[in-house]
């Protein structure tokens, strides 16, 4: 407790200037934190992690519409001696959470977290422990308890195209399948989501964050 405690060095990556300023304001009040830099793009975050030495990266997932945060996370965590990456985003979509964790993120926080929760998560991450926002943790628990909503890769792909408004014929062409296969996938999807039409499947999957938009 009385140890000098080397400060935790932070890198903030978020495309919203206001959010960056907010994070600075909130985290700078913690005496054991030191903000090395804040950047508006995922690319810059990746670049700076190479130059500066940082303990924890706070990273948004959505950068100006494009979802590059998870890629950047993967690139950062792939390196030797990589810092911990904490995802800090607005949404708690299942798909996003899983993607981020697969990419090597240490934790997943929501932007509506209170400041003390934020600080606690950063300290956890710096210590190598994982940090999940309570809401997110609940979601994951739900997910574990209900393995129903686990679509296969191919099924997700098909359903995404359905959500984009494509017909079965269009989907079959796009994926180089027969329409029979597309229908077959859909039947399985309907069973897993407990629905009986493409629109209902899209609604259910969207609600559960299995597909985008």
Partner DNA sequence: CCCGCCCTCCACCTTTCGATTGATGCCGGG
Partner DNA sequence: CCCGGCATCAATCGAAAGGTGGAGGGCGGG
Closest approach of DNA to the CB of residue 32, in Å = 42
Cα(72)–Cα(63) distance, integer angstroms? 11
Q: Which stretch binds its own copies (CB under 8 A): 31-39, 72-80, 174-182, 199-207?
A: 199-207
Based on the shown chain and the rule CB under 8 A, indicate whether residue 200 belongs to the binding site for its own copies: yes
Cα(25)–Cα(38) distance, integer angstroms? 12
Q: Which stretch binds DNA (CB under 7 A): 36-44, 60-68, 113-121, 189-197?
A: 189-197
Q: Which stretch binds DNA (CB under 7 A): 51-59, 88-96, 128-136, 196-204?
A: 196-204
Q: Of 77, 130, 135, 181, which lies in the binding site for DNA, with binding defined by CB under 7 A? A: 181
**Residue number, 123 or 188, with CB nearest to DNA:** 188
Report DSSP state, residue 32: T
Give per-residue burial for 66-98: e unless 16+ CB within 10 Å, then b: eebbbebbbbbbeeeeebbbbbbbeebbbbbbb
Cα(151)–Cα(45) distance, integer angstroms? 32
Cα(30)–Cα(157) distance, integer angstroms? 44
Give per-residue burial for 118-143: e unless 16+ CB within 10 Å, then b: bbebbbbbbeeeebbbeebeebbeeb
Q: Of 149, 190, 203, 206, which lies in the binding site for DNA, with binding defined by CB under 7 A? A: 190
148-167 residues near DNA, rule: CB under 7 A: 150, 152-155, 167
Q: Of 100, 105, 119, 162, which lies in the binding site for its own copies, with binding defined by CB under 8 A? A: 162
Based on the shown chain and the rule CB under 8 A, indicate whether residue 104 belongs to the binding site for its own copies: no
- Residue 41: count other Cβ atoms within 10 Å of its Cβ: 17
Footprint of DNA on this chain (CB under 7 A)?
150, 152-155, 167-169, 172, 175, 177-181, 183-188, 190, 196-198
Footprint of its own copies on this chain (CB under 8 A)?
15-26, 64, 90, 111-115, 118, 162-167, 195, 197-204, 206-207, 213
């Amino acid at each position: 407790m009385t140890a000098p405690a080397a400060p935790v060095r932070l890198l903030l990556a978020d495309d919203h200037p206001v959010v960056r300023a907010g994070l600075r304001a909130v985290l700078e009040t913690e005496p054991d934190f030191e903000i090395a830099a804040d950047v508006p793009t995922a690319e810059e975050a990746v670049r700076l992690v190479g130059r500066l030495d940082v303990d924890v990266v706070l990273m948004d997932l959505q950068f100006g519409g494009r979802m590059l945060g998870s890629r950047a996370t993967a690139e950062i965590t792939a390196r030797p001696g990589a810092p911990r990456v904490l995802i800090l985003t607005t949404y708690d979509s299942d798909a996003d959470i899983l993607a981020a964790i697969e990419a090597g993120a240490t934790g997943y926080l929501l932007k509506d977290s209170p400041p003390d929760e934020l600080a606690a998560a950063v300290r956890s991450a710096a210590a190598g422990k994982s940090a999940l926002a309570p809401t997110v943790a609940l979601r994951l628990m739900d997910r574990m308890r209900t393995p129903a909503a686990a679509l296969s890769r191919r099924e997700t792909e098909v359903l995404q195209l359905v959500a984009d408004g494509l017909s079965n014929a269009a989907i079959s062409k796009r994926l180089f399948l027969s329409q029979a296969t597309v229908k077959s996938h859909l039947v399985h999807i309907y069973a897993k989501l407990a629905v009986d039409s493409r629109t209902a499947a899209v609604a259910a999957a969207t609600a559960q964050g299995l597909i985008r938009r």
